[in-house]
Structure 1
Amino acid sequence: MTGNTEVVVIGGGYAGVMAANRLTQRNDVTVTLINPRPTFVERIRLHQVVAGNHDAVVDYREILPDGVRLVVDTVTRIDAAGHSLALATGDTIGYDYLIYAVGSGRADPRVPGAAEFAHPIASLEEARRLRPVLAAAPAKAPVTVVGAGPTGIETAAELAESGRSVTLVCGRVLGPYLHPSGRRSVAGRLARLGVKVVDGPDAKVTAVTRDAVRLGDGRTLPSEVTIWTAGFGVPDLADRSGLSTDALGRLLTDETLTSVDDARIVAAGDSAAPSDLPFRMSCQAAGPLGAQAADTVLSRIAGERPATLTVGFAGQCISLGRRVGIFQFASKEDAAKRYYLGGRAGAKLKEFICAGTVKQLVDEGRKPGSYRLHRMFKEGKRQELLRAGRDGTPVTAERGA
């Protein structure tokens, strides 16, 4: 390709910013990042927004280089045939290549009363709206957190540490991703904080009212404030635009993250479903996928064949209040091991990782192409699963919650 190449990135989260910064390696590439808000959100800190001890935002001027143009707007439709995007303001932006990194959010809970009476915290705006609700509730009012993944555990711990009376409803098991040894450690810490953990086969919420949560076994838990952290969903932009998606709406791609419909559309982050084997929602996957997406586009501009992705995991970190945390070690294929780092050391590692994810973006903006984590791992279980699928054997992936 000759002349200037216009590349547009939809979504300014971990994957989108990594991709945009990396694309500035070439002087003949114009990079535009479209995001609905003017600041970067540290999504892994939203539980701290709820607790009131962090604002979880970073000015884009701190993480985007001068070579990236920021457009604060929302994309309402992708015209793949016309290589253009329709924006909520009525404007239209054209592109030569598009990186689809719209991220993820909450799913419709489909539980009676949840939409009316439960408070989701999957976005910055939702977390901010919850703050005054908690502030208005009496100090000892019962608070129920629904969902025992990392966000649910972290939110319950933060609120309990501040003196709130918290019940954590797991739906099934506390910390589904965790190894039993790590789960016991988390359960012990929550107990010391005074969090009541409700788990087991009947710990599924069947209804939410203004002042209570009802469970599958008929129990009713009093709840002045109900916080909903369960479920996962992605924006329906790709589906509305006529592109192929998986059952949850993630853009279907090949192993170079290229859309199965259009070679000029590449996906990254939570909204990508490479080979219909998407990775766990995490910043661990977002950074490498963002770098891979940029590399795929740069390879196509250079007339080269893009490399296939290689993403490896180290584990999962969970804060348990401000002074304690846990890092659950895992295989590179994302299966939890029996080993974990807990206590104050776990908390320090968690904070180091939270700060480090932003630093990675800053470093890539200052020296585009320097990020290498997506090239550190060799062929493994994912490739075995893909080969099995091509041989006609059903493909399944072991995924952490």
Structure 2
Amino acid sequence: MTKSIKVVVIGGGYAGVLAANRLTQRDDVSVTLINALPSFVERIRLHQLVGGSDDAVVGYEDVLAGGVRLVIDTVTRIGAADRSVTVATGGTIGYDYLIYAVGSGSADPRVSGAAEFAYPIATLAEAQRLRSVLDAVPATAAVTVVGAGPTGIETAAELAELGRAVTLVCGGVLGPYLHPRGRRSVARRLARLGVTVLEGPGAKVTAVRRDAVHLGDGRELPSVVTIWTAGFGVPDLAARSGLSVDVVGRLLTDETLTSLDDVRIVAAGDAAAPSDLPLRMSCQSATRIGAHAADTVLRRIAGEQPAPLNLGFFGQCISLGRRAGIFQFANRDDTANTFYVGGRPGAKLKEFVCQSTVKHLAEEARKPGSLTWVKDDKRRQLLRTSRGQAPAAADQAVQPGMRGRSGRP
């Protein structure tokens, strides 16, 4: 059968790869995945790259369906009018449908000196750079990690387990997603590793200097290496292309993940803002949203009405070095409950999730359409109750654990 329908996927992360694989269910669809890097990045292992226990990359041949065309390039513009994308190396690639899965990264820090003297960790290149910086300083050098979310916690624990002198600056509460019981467990583990944890409004960073971090309560912390894990940002490709975005820059869509501007453009992953109520960023949501985006495209090709998004969560897992971790269970609406698994079993569960996430991608490559997920009808209730709220209030209500976070289950 002639592959007469062209689908382009921008972004080769968890959402983009899952979507690309799932699209291969139809023999008449040709799928092109455009990504800047030649290897798949296990973003949930970047803290391990920094600590030296993993390289955080997997070959696309291990996770991408053989029928998907991989283009190593960067999209600089989406031309919705003529259904094409412009790439950095020159030329354009046409499409009938487009899946926008560009992912997320660190937000430009607005704190004085942070952009100059702090090291982000949201991308492969950033993590590799930080690894080189740490290798070049003495093991006794003071390290400050800014950010109380899972990335900050994992990075602090990973380095402290190696004998580094680490201070974790929360600017608020440690692990805001966690239930208080789980939070206390994490705090105990960090204390055993020797991590100094600074919480509360007085621990908010006000300035970063080459050799110090300044806090809101006037304290100055010596810091040879400052690691910045707070904040959230997305590429500005959608905005530069004239598409409707939210205040952060995520593509605005309806509940089927279809762009408000063009039914031929569908979003997936961290850069999607369905009904201006984006879900918490995590590899769990990214893969399922990627699958849903592919299903939306496949239904439109078949002349059917796409289904609204319906995704339930099961929790969040955080590694605490190589020998401990925590799996925080949650209700399907993504609110943490009292149950958690800590210690060595928590570490094993975290590793199981990391391995399973890659296996899900590979399984979808072999058997497109096989990924399933739990549902949760409370999102529909949120949508109904948020209609009279300001966008910021609605966003906060639906994302209890998102702030200062990189992708994690």
| Whole-angstrom CA distance in 1 between matches of 2:34 and 2:390 | 38
TM value normalised by structure 2: 0.95
Please name the residue that 1:32 is paired with: 32
2:406 alignment partner in structure 1: none
> Shift of residue 309 of structure 1?
1.1
The 5 A counterparts of 1:318-333 are: 318-333=318-333
Query: What is residue 384 of structure 1 aligned with on the other side?
Result: 381
Amino acid in structure 2 at the alignment position of 1:382: R
CA shift at 1:3, angstroms?
Answer: 6.7
2-side partners of 1:174 and 1:138: how far apart?
A: 28
Contact 1:148 1:170 in 2 (8 A): yes
Q: Is the 8 A contact 1:77 1:241 kept in 2?
A: yes
Matches within 5 A, 1:177-256: 177-256=177-256
Shift of 1:91: 1.7
Q: Which amino acid aligns with 1:363?
A: E
Note if contact 2:236-2:249 (Cα within 8 Å) is conserved in structure 1. yes
Partner of 1:47: 47
The yes-or-no answer on 1:365 pairing with 2:362 is no
Residue 95 (structure 2) aligns with: 95
Contact 2:277–2:398 (Cα < 8 Å) also in 1: no
Residue 147 of structure 1 corresponds to which residue in structure 2? 147
**Partners of 1:245 and 1:203 in 2: how far apart?**
32
SS of the counterpart of 1:371? coil
- Distance in 1, matches of 2:297 and 2:45, equals 31
What amino acid is aligned across from residue 75 of structure 2 in structure 1? V
Within 5 Å, which residues of 2 pair with 1:257-268?
257-268=257-268
Give the letter aligned to residue 256 of structure 1: T
Deviations 1:351-393 (A, max 9, x none): 00000000000000000011111xx3142x2101212345x46
Cα contact 1:50–1:128 (8 A) shared by 2: yes
CA offset at residue 78 of structure 1?
Answer: 0.3
Structure 1 length as normaliser, TM-score? Answer: 0.97
Does the 8 A contact of 1:268 with 1:290 survive in 2? yes
**CA–CA separation in structure 1 for the residues paired with 2:382 and 2:368:** 32
Letter of the structure 2 residue corresponding to residue 202 of structure 1: G
Cα drift, residue 65 of structure 1: 1.5
> How far does the alpha carbon of each residue in 1:78-120 deviate from its partner, in whole angstroms, 9 at most, with x for none?
0101100010011200000000000000001111111111000
- Structure 1 counterpart SS, 2:85: strand
Note if contact 1:78-1:86 (Cα within 8 Å) is conserved in structure 2: yes
Structure 2 counterpart of 1:103, which letter? G
Q: 1:335 to 1:166 in 2, by over 3 A?
A: same
Contact residue 335 and residue 398 of structure 1 kept, 8 A: no
**Structure 1 stretch displaced more, 304-313 or 356-365:** 304-313
The aligned counterpart of 1:76 is 76
Shift of 1:338: 1.2
Distance 2:143 2:389 in 1: 46
Alignment check: 8 A CA contact 1:317 1:326 kept:
yes
How far does the alpha carbon of each residue in 1:280-313 deviate from its partner, in whole angstroms, 9 at most, with x for none? 0100110110000000000000001111111111
C-alpha contact 2:22 2:364 (8 A) present in aligned 1: yes
**How do residues 263-274 of structure 1 correspond to structure 2 at under 5 angstroms?**
263-274=263-274
What CA distance in whole angstroms lies between the structure 2 residues aligned with 1:110 and 1:317?
29
Q: Which amino acid is the alignment partner of residue 146 of structure 2?
A: V
8 A Cα contact 1:77 1:85, kept in partner: yes
Query: Equivalents in 2 of 1:141, 1:350: separation in Å?
Result: 29
Structure 1 residue 148: deviation in Å?
1.1
SS of equivalent residue, structure 1 residue 255: coil
2:319 is aligned with what amino acid? S
Q: Which residue of 1 aligns with 2:104?
A: 104
CA distance in 1, matches of 2:137, 2:55: 21
Correspondence for 1:283: 283
Displacement, 1:32? 0.2
1:64 touches 1:365 (CA, 8 Å); kept in 2? yes
Tell me the distance in 2 between the aligned counterparts of 1:220 and 1:129: 25
Distance 2:341 2:3 in 1: 52
AA matched with 1:179: H
| Aligned-partner Cα distance in 2 for 1:174–1:393 | 28
Change (3 A) 1:3 1:283: closer
The 8 Å contact of residues 388 and 394 in structure 1, kept in 2 or not, is answered as no
Q: Is the 8 A contact 2:253 2:274 kept in 1?
A: yes
- Cα-to-partner distance string for 1:231-276 (whole Å, 9 max, x where unaligned): 0000000001000001000000001000000000000000000000
Preserved CA contact (<8 Å) 1:32 1:71: yes
Unaligned runs of 5+ in 2: 403-409
Work out the CA distance in 2 between the residues paired with 1:378 and 1:206: 40
Tell me how far apart the structure 1 counterparts of residues 48 and 260 of structure 2 sit (CA, whole Å).
38
CA distance in 2, matches of 1:228, 1:371: 34
Please name the residue that 2:298 is paired with. Answer: 298
